Amino acid sequence: MALRGIELKKLIVYRFVGLLNNITVKPPLKEGQIYYRAVTSNNLDDILSTREKSVHQEFVKFFSEGEQGYYVYYENRVVSCGWVFLNSGQSAVRKKYMLVPSGYAWLHNFWTHPNLRGHGLYSSLLAHICREMISTERVKHPNRIIIDTAQDNIPSNKAIIKANFERIGEIVALRIYKKWLVLEETYGKKIYR
């Protein structure tokens, strides 16, 4: 029995190892049919082409807080997306259940349209974001890019590993309405050594 407003999450945390050149989408998609765009005030509303208004409101919040979003378009519709929180402050910041160290980027809130899952869009978008974060020197080292996903989300875990991330630990967190309580976290041992 699920209790309304209460959620227990078991998450795996990964860090980026380095860029690979062979991350591409699978047929029937072709690289020339999709394009990537950073989210700006001009295209923020494009998510409404495939997602509900509550998701759009969440994206408006991320954008207003200075986070960077990315969209993947196919046939002029957003078919995949994700967000990056870059901690440019002097100390670690807790975002939901994730403690993001200073100088680190946390990739979160990824989604791919159900009709296009399994075609490499997620791995391809991760590679695009990491390439941009490194080429613009927004992070000082690839290992400073971290991401998490639910332990039981096998496709997501596989896509993250395919994009050249390595597992560094876990998080067990309890959400009570909008407040997150971290019950256990082991990824910090790999980050803070």
Kindly report, residue by residue over 44-71, the tens digit of the pLDDT: 999 999 999 999 999 999 999 999 999 9
H-only helix segments in the chain? 53-64, 121-135, 154-162, 188-191
Domain coordinates in residue numbering, the chain: 6-191
Terminal C-alpha separation, the chain: 41
Of 37, 123, 129, the closest CA to residue 74 belongs to 37
177 vs 193: CA distance, rounded Å: 34
The CATH topology of domain 6-191 is: Aminopeptidase (3.40.630)
State the pLDDT confidence band at 192, using cuts at 50, 70 and 90.
low
What is the rounded CA–CA span in Å between residue 128 and residue 125?
A: 5
Report pLDDT for 31. Answer: 77
| Model confidence at 193: pLDDT above 60 | no
Q: Residue 117 phi/psi, 5° resolution? A: -70, 150
Q: Residue 27's pLDDT band (boundaries 50, 70, 90)?
A: confident
- The mean pLDDT of 105-128, rounded to a whole number, is 95
Q: What is the mean pLDDT of residues 15-34?
A: 82
Would you say 145 and 133 are in contact if contact means Cβ atoms under 8 Å apart? Answer: yes
SS3 of 70, please?
A: strand
